[in-house]
Amino acid sequence: MTPSNPITTLHVRRFIPAPRARVFAAFVQPEDLTKWLGPGPCQCLRVRVDARQGGKYEVRMKTSDGSEVDVQGEYLEVRTPERLVLTWQWIGEDWDKTVTQVSVDFLELDGGTDVQLTHERLPSAKSRDNHVRGWNGCFDKLEKLFAPAEAEPAPSMPVGQFCWNELLTSDVGVAGKFYTQLFGWTESPFPGAVPYTIFRQGEKGVGGMMPQQQPGTPPIWLAYITVADCDASAAQAEKFGAKLCMPPKDIPTIGRIAVLTDPLGTPFGIHQPEQKS
């Protein structure tokens, strides 16, 4: 496999407040694609889709200047509702011989779906930047497509209640094997600067696992409690005798978290959920 060229590869990520299966369907159903595929004032005029490995698709769009353009391609991988890989080819004088590749991963999270798109093999850095703007514009529409479509917005996590459990371990391989065998969980990676694994029971995430960040400390399960304001709660906890182990920090699509120990040394985490507009 030829490694991606970072100069001509883009990554776009967006949290969509809808179930993973429904978001996946929006990428392969023509009636949905016509509503969001095309940034800003661009309109998707026609979509033909055969969403199976080896199947083809064709899209016609109307641009902001009124002209019409076509894109076509082939599905290389269709793994419902987890992953799509397809070729992407604009039809036009300068593009007919340029075939790029789009990969989309759908990661289920509480309250919605983390959509991660990679577009690679673009002809230039300028083309990459144009496609970054284009995909972000499309995702803006995708987000709006689901925001009003849900009958009722998902309720926010109640403040003061336990909301997440996280295993900090010295050996993620051994620990992962133990818990998956014991409880029948499965493991899926969560992208980020630090390796992180989501434990799942069926489709639902039940906990997380990451390498122990402080060598020499024993492995522990860390429980998180929901707060309205992570920074204010951390400061208040310190006034009451807690020790701040990890200052408040933002986790994309998740919210803001901090880790403390109570006056007796018991560790715990606090979580301020990300606000969805």
DSSP string, 122-133: -S-HHHHHHHHH
Two tokens, residue 76: 């290389």
- Residue 169: the pLDDT is 94
d(CA 252, CA 274): 8
Which long-range contacts link 203-207 to residues 24+ away (Cβ below 8 Å)? 203/20, 203/108, 204/108, 205/108, 205/109, 205/110, 206/165, 207/164, 207/165, 207/166, 207/167
Helix/strand number for the chain, H first, E second? 5, 15
Q: Give tens-digit pLDDT for 56-92.
A: 999 999 988 888 999 999 999 999 999 999 999 999 7
Determine the Cα–Cα distance for residues 218 and 207; give it in Å rounded to an integer.
Answer: 18
pLDDT at 241: 96
Mean pLDDT by 10 residues, the chain (277 residues): 72 94 96 94 93 96 89 96 96 77 96 95 93 95 77 65 94 95 91 86 90 83 96 96 95 90 96 81
- From residue 214, give the alpha-carbon distance in Å to each of 34, 94, 136, 164, 243: 50, 54, 37, 21, 15
Kindly report whether the peptide bond that precedes residue 39 is cis, defined as omega within 30 degrees of 0: no
The span from the CA of 251 to the CA of 255, in Å, is 5
Q: Which amino acid is at 267?
A: P
Where are the alpha helices (H) located in 79-199, listed in sequence order? 125-146, 172-183
pLDDT digits (tens, 9 = 90+) for 109-120: 988 999 999 999
Confirm if 231 and 248 have CB atoms less than 8 A apart. yes
Fold of 6-146: Alpha-D-Glucose-1,6-Bisphosphate; Chain A, domain 4 (3.30.530)
Tokens of 16: 């969509």
Q: Where are the domains of the chain?
A: 6-146, 162-273
Residue 1: what pLDDT? 45
- Match domain 162-273 to its CATH number in 3.40.50.150, 3.10.180.10, 3.30.420.130, 3.50.30.30: 3.10.180.10
- Please give the pLDDT value at position 49: 95
CB 226 within 8 A of CB 273: yes
* pLDDT for res 149: 44
The predicted pLDDT at position 274 comes to 85
Q: How many CA atoms lie within 13 A of 78 on its CB side?
A: 16
